[in-house]
Amino acid sequence: MDVPVVNGSISGQPHVFGTKGRRDDQEIPLSWDNDCQEFKGAYAPSGSGGPDEGSRETVAEVTLRDVALASGCSVATVSRVLAGTRPVGAETVRTVRAAAERLGYRPNHVARALRSRTTGTVGLVLPQITNPFFPSLVRELEHALHAEGRAVLLADCDDDPVTEAARIGAFLGRQVDALLLIPVDERRSREAVAAAAAQVPLVLLDRGCGPGVADSVAVDNAAGMALVLDHLAATGRRRPCFVGAAGTASAAVERRAAYEAGAAALDPTAPGRVELGDFSVAWGRAAADRVWPSRPDAVICANDLIAAGALQRLRQLGADVPGEVAVTGFDDIPLAGLADPALTTVRQPVGELAAEAARLLSRRPAAADPASRHTVRLAPQLVVRGSSVPVDAAADATAGG
């Protein structure tokens, strides 16, 4: 459909450069001052006279050299004052600071990066930003990283290992200081990840990528699954079944293994009742159809998407949730709280994951030594909602590790 764009150009012709009176909280307009009568002869063509009526369009950047000139000392000194790399006389510090502020000096990160060989930038590479679990993780990572003054370069791989490798390469070419990576595939991502890890600090997030490849931080899937099983057992469920995902992704494998281990305690035949598909709502719906005939009293899903699909389909099939059957998810994505009834699930400690990842990244020592790889597992939290216990009893219990 090529419905034409309603391409209207907002008019706004009358007021062009107004707004001169009420700009009191504005910072100093970096351009001219009587001290530095000699500015940017180089490429500032509009050295036209006049008191600069505020056309701050392409004002040439103020450089260290300008500040040096204005404060009567050398570039080196100015750098030292501003970067604090070496003690400088109190008096000098004062003049330099003043000049810098007066001129509105802003350091050029690119030049700094070139010289100091560190860009203050980390690349964040993830499979699909549209996976509903990722946004909150991205958010926390962004906050954690920005808090230490680093900027985040984002890449979305479209769930494709080839794209992933390309993005990693692009980031490396841009000399990121480090990489944060949620691998697309445990196996097919390995090669590119290992290669990248040899060049910059790299932390794997949420999913693993084979042993010894890189540092990694993730939720303790086994503990999470145990929380779910304990809760279900405590509320009298005896015939659980598991709806998970096939494949080698660590989350899929670990959650399934943990279910099988834990469910055996509940019911010796339970570990057999396992259906595997993928991490999607559609699979959740399909799995419900396959599972419901055997009348389980708990459907434990490997993530919230599956759970949402299963829940929806179960109700369509006439099942009473949670009366007849409980449904649980994993991750606590926003959707979980919105389902009807709201999903009991395992909340990932997103903030801590981000903090831990940031911490690992900052570790200076050359972590090229495979022996020093760290794998951090963080404790999740059970969030009990209506899908596993009747509403009146669902007091949103939270149980930590």
Partner DNA sequence: GCAGCATGGGAAAACGTTCTCCGGAAACTT
Partner DNA sequence: AAGTTTCCGGAGAACGTTTTCCCATGCTGC
Residues numbered 59-118 forming contacts with its own copies, rule: CB under 8 A: 106-111, 113-114
Within residues 61-90, the interface with DNA by CB under 7 A covers: 61, 63-65, 72-77, 79-80, 82-83, 85-89
Q: How far is the CB of 324 from its own copies (least distance, A)?
A: 18
- Of 93 and 154, the one with the shorter C-beta distance to its own copies is 154
Q: How far is the CB of 362 from its own copies (least distance, A)?
A: 17
- Taking CB within 5 to 8 Å according to partner kind, which of its own copies, DNA, none is near residue 280? none
* Matching residue, tokens 């005939």: 293
Within residues 302-341, the interface with its own copies by CB under 8 A covers: 308, 312, 315, 334-335, 338, 340
The token pair that represents 32 in the structure block: 């001219």
End-to-end CA distance of the chain: 53
- Taking CB within 5 to 8 Å according to partner kind, which of DNA, its own copies, none is near residue 91? DNA
At 313, the amino acid letter reads R
d(Cα 212, Cα 168) in Å, to the nearest integer? 19
Within residues 148-177, the interface with its own copies by CB under 8 A covers: 151-156, 158, 165, 167-175
Within residues 43-62, the interface with DNA by CB under 7 A covers: 43, 60-61
Number of chain positions touching DNA (CB under 7 A): 35
d(Cα 326, Cα 393) in Å, to the nearest integer? 14
Q: How far is the CB of 30 from DNA (least distance, A)?
A: 12
- The answer to whether residue 212 forms part of the interface with its own copies (CB under 8 A) is yes
Within residues 230-269, the interface with its own copies by CB under 8 A covers: none
Residue burial 78-93, b: 16+ Cβ < 10 Å; e: rest: bbbbbeeeeebeeebb
d(Cα 279, Cα 202) in Å, to the nearest integer? 26
Helices (H), 123-241: 134-147, 161-173, 190-197, 221-234
- The answer to whether residue 105 forms part of the interface with DNA (CB under 7 A) is yes
Q: How far is the CB of 11 from its own copies (least distance, A)?
A: 7
CA dihedral of residues 360, 361, 365, 367 (deg, nearest 10): 80
CA distances from 53 to 13, 22, 235, 386, 393 (A): 19, 15, 74, 64, 68
- Of 85 and 294, the one with the shorter C-beta distance to DNA is 85
d(Cα 252, Cα 383) in Å, to the nearest integer? 20
Binding DNA (rule: CB under 7 A), the pick from 55, 58, 116, 248 is 116
- Taking CB within 5 to 8 Å according to partner kind, which of DNA, its own copies, none is near residue 85? DNA
- The answer to whether residue 107 forms part of the interface with DNA (CB under 7 A) is yes
* Matching residue, tokens 């949730």: 321
Peptide bond before 296: cis, by omega within 30 degrees of 0? no
Q: If you ran DSSP here, which 8-state letter would residue 398 be given? A: E
Q: How far is the CB of 33 from DNA (least distance, A)?
A: 12
Q: Which residues, in sequence order, are CB contacts of 329 under 8 Å at separation 6+?
A: 301, 303, 304, 305, 306, 307, 308, 336, 343, 344, 345, 346, 387
Q: How far is the CB of 199 from its own copies (least distance, A)?
A: 7
- The answer to whether residue 1 forms part of the interface with its own copies (CB under 8 A) is yes
**Given the rule CB under 7 A, which of 114-122, 246-254, 312-320, 333-341 is the region that contacts DNA?**
114-122
- Taking CB within 5 to 8 Å according to partner kind, which of DNA, its own copies, none is near residue 56? its own copies
Residues in contact with DNA by CB under 7 A are: 32, 42-43, 60-61, 63-65, 72-77, 79-80, 82-83, 85-89, 91-92, 105-108, 111-112, 114-117
